[in-house]
């Protein structure tokens, strides 16, 4: 009987049980000999010892060195990360690309949960769900038409999406039944592809000026820091809802805070320039804001989708087939996304 292929499983800081449903762990164990497989950080010595026989590495953060280490990994076909992103500084991408070692990220696993919260926040913003609850608890609620000042329907409204990646692909189907015109800005995609996704490609300025709801979903890169700065925020319609999902990195957060405090538009914010946000940050008092503490991608049940993707793609790789579910690192992009999370 031939030996089973070896797979290093070192998901720290995630835990094995959180990432892998028991059925997926059983599948994994049936197809491969799991090396390490513990929740603690894998010691470098153990890692290096396992490397020459490893066909794949599943990790929660790459701390194992560069090209000089991987040179000893003669059977390695895939490095699969379970935290959620490519572009980590120091990772030996070039070596992997040249040697056809697949570098795979679990980030698509988060699309649905981020998209659901994005829609929740957009609808909550359009209908004042959080503030209506707040005044009700204070005993100052007003009923029916009086309680609907400035609310609006999502149906048929122009919606803007900044960054048409995995989150947007999960969000677009959720928006479809609202018959919104979806405006999109994504400099990494050709216009025809944006149109093929049912969106209208637009310069960022036009998108901001026309959309009633704006979703910021772009991956942070070295090129898009404060992409939406003070002047661009000034283009946003009065009474629009600005939904900040991917990273605070993409906006001038001070300027955004001012806009919301002034009542220029409403905002729903899941990510902040510092987390925890200082207790005296003025956005905490903004009537027109809905605040959420980086909660979009951490729903418990969502994590087991990571394990399912890893197990499925590993199954393909071990059968000599290309992976299908995890996101491949792209040579052109990893340099641009080399940012701290």
* Contacts of 277-284 spanning 24+ positions with Cβ under 8 A: 281/257, 282/257, 283/256, 283/257
In terms of CB distance, is 252 or 313 closer to its own copies? Answer: 313
144 binds its own copies per the rule CB under 8 A: yes
Find the shortest distance in angstroms from Cβ 195 to its own copies. 10
CB of 134 to its own copies, least distance (A): 7
Provide, rounded to whole angstroms, the least separation between the CB of residue 127 and its own copies.
5
> Which one of residues 129, 226, 318, 338 is an interface residue with its own copies (CB under 8 A)?
129
Interaction of residue 153 with its own copies, rule CB under 8 A: yes
Strand partners, 36: 9
DSSP for residue 40? S
Nearer residue to its own copies within complex by CB, 50 or 307: 307
Measure the CA–CA gap between 16 and 39, rounded to whole angstroms: 6
Q: Which stretch binds its own copies (CB under 8 A): 59-67, 134-142, 224-232, 257-265?
A: 134-142
Taking the CA atoms of residue 47, residue 329, residue 215 and residue 114 in that order, the dihedral angle to the nearest 10 degrees is -40
Classify the phi-psi angles of 116: left when phi > 0, otherwise alpha if psi is within -120 to 50, otherwise beta: alpha
Cβ nearer to its own copies, comparing 39 with 312:
312
Q: Using CB under 8 A, which of 155, 223, 238, 340 touches its own copies?
A: 155
97: contact with its own copies by CB under 8 A: yes
Token pair of 130 as six digits: 């959080």
CB neighbours of residue 2 within 10 Å = 4
> Is residue 324 involved in binding its own copies (CB under 8 A)?
yes
Between 50 and 154, CB nearer to its own copies: 154
The contact pattern for its own copies, residues 109-128, with x = CB under 8 A and - = no contact, is: ---xx--xx-xxx-xx-xxx
What span, in angstroms and rounded, lies between the C-alpha atoms of 286 and 295? 19
The DSSP secondary-structure symbol of 205 reads H
């Amino acid at each position: 009987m031939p030996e089973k292929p070896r797979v290093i499983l070192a998901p720290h800081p995630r835990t094995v049980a959180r990432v892998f449903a028991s059925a997926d762990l059983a599948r994994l164990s049936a197809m491969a000999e799991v090396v390490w497989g513990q929740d603690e950080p894998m010691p470098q010595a153990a890692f290096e010892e396992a490397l020459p026989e490893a066909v794949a590495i599943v990790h929660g953060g790459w701390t194992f060195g560069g090209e000089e280490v991987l040179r000893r990994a003669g059977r390695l076909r895939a490095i699969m990360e379970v935290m959620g992103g490519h572009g980590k500084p120091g990772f030996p991408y070039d070596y992997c690309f040249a040697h056809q070692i697949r570098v795979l990220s679990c980030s698509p696993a988060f699309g649905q949960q981020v998209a659901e919260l994005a829609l929740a926040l957009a609808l909550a913003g359009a209908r004042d769900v959080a503030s209506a609850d707040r005044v009700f608890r204070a005993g100052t609620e007003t009923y029916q038409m009086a309680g609907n000042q400035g609310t609006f329907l999502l149906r048929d409204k122009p919606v803007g999406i900044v960054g048409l990646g995995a989150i947007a692909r999960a969000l677009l189907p959720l928006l479809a039944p609202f018959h919104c015109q979806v405006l999109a800005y994504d400099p990494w995609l050709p216009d025809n592809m944006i149109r093929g996704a049912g969106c209208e490609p637009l310069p960022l300025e036009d998108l901001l000026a026309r959309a009633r709801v704006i979703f910021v979903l772009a991956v942070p890169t070295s090129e898009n820091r404060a992409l939406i700065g003070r002047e661009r925020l000034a283009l946003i319609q009065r009474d629009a809802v600005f939904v900040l999902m991917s990273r605070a990195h993409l906006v001038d957060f001070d300027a955004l805070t001012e806009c919301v405090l002034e009542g220029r538009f409403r905002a729903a914010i899941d990510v902040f320039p510092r987390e925890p946000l200082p207790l005296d940050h003025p956005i905490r008092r903004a009537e027109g804001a809905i605040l959420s503490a980086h909660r979009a991608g951490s729903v418990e049940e969502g994590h087991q989708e990571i394990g399912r993707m890893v197990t499925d793609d590993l199954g393909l790789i071990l059968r000599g087939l290309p992976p299908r579910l995890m996101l491949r690192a792209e040579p052109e992009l990893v340099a641009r996304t080399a940012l701290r999370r």
